[in-house]
Structure 1
Amino acid sequence: MAQQFNCSRTPVREALRKLEQENSLKVKPGIGMVISNVDIELLQQELEIRKMFENHSIQKACEGIKEEELKKLEWPTDKLHQAINGNDRIAASSAKINFHRLLYSYSRNTFLHKTTDSLWLSFRISFISARNEDVTMVDKSRYEERNNEHLQIIHAIRDKDAELFVY
């Protein structure tokens, strides 16, 4: 893998160790590393926590967001819309993540922002594995739903009414 990515073995080893710590990989003696099975209950627990974090972030953003910050939330939403139309899965995922990272940062809670990075990675890996989907294609309906949610969140924050959007 290090040769394939044109890097030293240390970062590859550290990345594999981190995936193992997050239960995404398992070491099988005599075989090597294998991808772990997805625990649907654990996936549901991750989603529940993410929803709580996002509701909190929306509430905090309503309390103190600045106009330029609100405009920054519109940018990844526009990028997501473009990615959906262009069937660009990587750009769509990136836009979604950027939107939520901004949203978490507007909570003004550093711990929340740090925690959600790990949660997002775990959630995305689990979700893709559990759905057994073709990850090369954009599931347009799912991404369009997320894009509509982003627009609703922006509207709720603009109106300073967290109750307009609750997961």
Structure 2
Amino acid sequence: MKTESLKIKVYKSLRLDIVSGKLAGGTRITETAVADSLNVSRTPVREALQKLSQERLLISIPKAGYMVENLSDNEIQDLFTTRMEIEQIAIQKAIKYITAEELKNLDDNLEQTKASIKSGENFKITELDIEFHSIIYKAARNKSLFRVCKNLSDLTIKYRHGLNLVPNLWNELLQQHILIYQALISKDREKTAQAIALHARHAKSHLMDIMKKVRSDTFSREDFY
């Protein structure tokens, strides 16, 4: 139990430093350096680094440790813009092919998101956000398009975690997911395009504002937990 708690503590500490920008993009991280800085053994550090790598918050470098992805603000904006432009294509195809079961999965996702917002499970909310969009990618019935969408989604995970710094934003983003879901049910192409575009604008705008506040130390460390 003590080892498990230590692993979680190391994981949260590193995740905070990555999402907040304290560990800048391009920073190389090794098990030994982290273990020494936190005064812990290498085992919980190794497990934490592996988990962060699986979550795409770190890039694994064979025989050289890990590295924090290095993107400028403009590159981050370009990444989100490209992702949402590709999603416009995916969702228009999804209107035609989405099944009743997939619509039910979206509805279940919205209910789980509401519950997670209420209980303050920030990391779970991010996972559900990713799942919501993934259901739409699959509904497009295009394997090549799915791979492109999934890759772009994975590249944005680090920055989507940053939205957890302002929990109130999740209620706004949930409402936007509801609009997307309703548009898919109605099979209204114009409303669907408008809903996904609104979602893209708000997510990108909020994210860049958060990044500026983080860099100016507006947030306290407790905001990340």
Q: TM-score, normalised by structure 2?
A: 0.56
Match of 2:43 in 1: 3
CA displacement, residues 59-115 of structure 1 (integer Å, 9 cap, x when unaligned): 111112221221111111111111111110111011111111101111111122222
Deviating beyond 2 angstroms after TM superposition, the runs of 4 or more aligned structure 1 residues are: 1-7, 32-38, 115-118
Distance 2:143 2:154 in 1: 18
| 8 Å Cα contact 2:113-2:128 kept in structure 1 | yes
1:78 aligns to 2:111 (yes or no) = yes
Q: CA deviation at 1:120?
A: 1.9
Question: What displacement does 1:4 show?
Answer: 2.4
Indicate conservation of the 8 Å contact 1:76/1:95, yes or no.
yes
Q: What is the aligned partner in structure 2 of residue 144 from structure 1?
A: 171
Bigger relative CO (Cα 8 Å, ≥ 6 apart): 1
For 2:186, the aligned partner's letter is D
Give me the whole-angstrom Cα distance separating, in 2, the residues matched to 1:48 and 1:59.
17
Matches within 5 A, 1:35-114: 35-114=68-147
Q: Which secondary structure state, in structure 2, belongs to the residue aligned with residue 140 of structure 1? A: coil
Shift of 1:54: 1.8
| CA distance 1:123–1:6, shift in 2 (3 Å) | closer
In structure 1, runs of 5+ residues without a counterpart are 22-26
Question: Deviations 1:96-146 (Å, cap 9, x if unpaired)?
Answer: 111111011111111222222332232122455xx6x7x5x5x33321122
Match of 1:24 in 2: none
Structure-2 separation of matches of 1:39 and 1:79: 33
Q: Which residue of 2 aligns with 1:19?
A: 59
The one-letter code sitting in structure 2 at the alignment partner of 1:109 is N
Deviation for aligned residue 1:156? 0.8
Aligned residues: 148
The alignment-based identity, stated in percent, is 21
Structure 1's 39 and 162: CA in aligned 2 closer, same or farther, altered over 3 A? same
Which is helix-richer, 1 or 2?
Answer: 2
SS at match of 2:123: helix
Q: Report SS of the residue matched to 1:97.
A: helix
5+ residue gaps, structure 2, are 1-30, 32-41, 198-225
Report the TM-score when normalising by structure 1: 0.73
Q: Which residue of 1 aligns with 2:28?
A: none
